[in-house]
């Protein structure tokens, strides 16, 4: 194809999928004890179990946007090869990553007047962003133009449903998503929030249930109520180092909705730093978010 797709490490796609689709990844950064790390490095498999073990041990994780100089190098390498760029970015409702990279694209457009750089705010995160990128890459491989692929993402991004739950409300408190009182009360009562990403790309609590298994079943309930029919596969699940629960959730989706292609991966460190170990998320195309 005459263009390349660029996205952020917050898409939470597996290394195998990234390689298969020929994607370019801009890594967000995180800091542990003052040491900076990239959330994605090409060809290097990060031991995310170790990352979540550090979180459980009380390590304070700080996060940051992609390094601008590194992002510019990635984009210039594509443009210098004579190809155009379609950038599909992390929700502007959750991060400044999209604005930063979109600005960079506009600046590079002046330096490369013969090339196209198109930036789309996916208003999505984690596997939701990843699933949009996955479908966009499939369209590109089928011969669709940059403009056609970008338009498909614009037309479908508010149909990409995100349903989340977390196991420990204190991580949401530290990230400013719930109050201290709500976090403590919820922990004492074993309350689990069920959340989604709204049409502005913000993470919004929608209901509360008591107990982990009920929260996982609630994700499937919301999927059954809104998923496109016929169901468009694959379905994505991401998790915060709780693979057994992810497999349990996948089993519920298979049994109750007849889905066969379900892809499971970790929540990356930058998102996981705010949602914590035990995060569980389900992503699919729906009639509405």
**Domain count for the chain:** 2
Count of CA atoms in the C-beta half-sphere (13 A) of 233: 11
**Do 57 and 149 lie in a common domain?**
yes
Give one DSSP letter per residue of 30-54, joined into a string.
EEETTEEEES-BTTB---HHHHHHH
Q: What is the mean pLDDT of residues 236-262?
A: 98
pLDDT score of 105 more than 80: yes
- Range of the structural domain that residue 178 is part of: 159-285
Is residue 10 domain-shared with residue 149, that is, in the same domain?
yes
pLDDT at 73: 98
State the pLDDT at residue 184: 44
179-225: per-residue pLDDT in tens?
554 544 455 557 788 999 999 999 888 888 999 999 999 999 999 99
* Continuous segment of H or E residues that includes residue 75: helix 68-80
Chain Cα centroid distance, residue 170 = 21
Residues 105 and 167 in one domain: no
Q: Which of 122, 157, 192 is the last residue in one of the domains?
A: 157
pLDDT > 90? residue 244: yes
Residues 146 and 26 in one domain: yes
Looking at the fold, whether 150 and 133 belong to one and the same domain comes out as: yes
**132 shares its domain with 171:** no
Q: Does 213 sit behind a cis peptide bond, omega within 30 degrees of 0 on the bond before it?
A: no
What SS3 class is residue 160?
strand
Query: Residue 146 is part of a domain; what is its CATH number?
Result: 3.40.50.10170
Report the alpha-carbon distance of residue 125 to residue 271 in Å, rounded.
8
* Helix, strand or coil, per DSSP, at residue 67: coil
- Domain limit, last residue, from 103, 132, 157: 157
Residue 69 has a CB neighbour count (10 Å cut-off) of 9
pLDDT of 190: 73
Same domain, 112 and 202: no
Q: What is the mean pLDDT of the chain?
A: 92
- Among candidate residues 97, 129, 157, the one where a domain is terminated: 157
Tokens of 224: 């059954």
Query: Which position has the higher pLDDT, 146 or 58?
Result: 146
Cα 109 to its chain centre, rounded Å, is 27
40-88 pLDDT tens trace: 877 666 678 989 999 999 888 999 999 999 999 999 999 999 999 999 9
> Distance between CA 249 and CA 53 in Å, rounded?
22
The pLDDT of residue 169: 61
Domain identity same for 35 and 66: yes
């Amino acid at each position: 194809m005459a263009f390349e797709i660029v996205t952020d490490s917050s898409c939470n796609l597996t290394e195998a999928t990234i390689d298969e689709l020929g994607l370019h990844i801009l890594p967000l950064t995180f800091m542990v004890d003052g040491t900076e790390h990239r959330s994605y490095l090409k060809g290097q498999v990060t031991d995310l179990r170790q990352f979540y073990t550090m979180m459980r041990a009380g390590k304070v994780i700080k996060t940051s946007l992609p390094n601008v100089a590194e992002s510019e190098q990635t984009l210039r390498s594509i443009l210098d090869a004579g190809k155009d760029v379609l950038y599909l970015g992390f929700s502007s409702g959750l991060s400044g990553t999209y604005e930063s990279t979109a600005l960079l694209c506009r600046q590079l457009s002046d330096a490369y007047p013969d090339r196209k750089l198109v930036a789309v705010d996916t208003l999505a995160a984690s596997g939701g962003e990843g699933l949009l990128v996955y479908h966009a890459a499939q369209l590109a491989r089928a011969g669709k133009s940059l403009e056609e692929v970008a338009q498909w993402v614009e037309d479908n991004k508010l149909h990409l449903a995100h349903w989340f739950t977390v196991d420990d409300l204190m991580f949401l408190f530290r990230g400013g998503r719930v109050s201290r009182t709500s976090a403590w009360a919820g922990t004492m009562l074993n309350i689990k929030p069920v959340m989604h990403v709204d049409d502005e790309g913000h993470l919004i609590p929608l209901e509360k249930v008591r107990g982990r298994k009920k929260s996982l079943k609630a994700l499937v309930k919301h999927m059954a109520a809104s998923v496109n029919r016929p169901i468009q596969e694959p379905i994505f699940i991401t998790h915060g180092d709780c693979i057994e629960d992810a497999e349990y959730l996948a089993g519920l989706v298979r049994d109750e909705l007849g889905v066969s292609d379900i892809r499971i991966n970790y929540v990356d460190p930058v998102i996981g730093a705010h949602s914590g170990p035990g995060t569980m998320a389900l992503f699919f195309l729906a009639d509405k978010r």
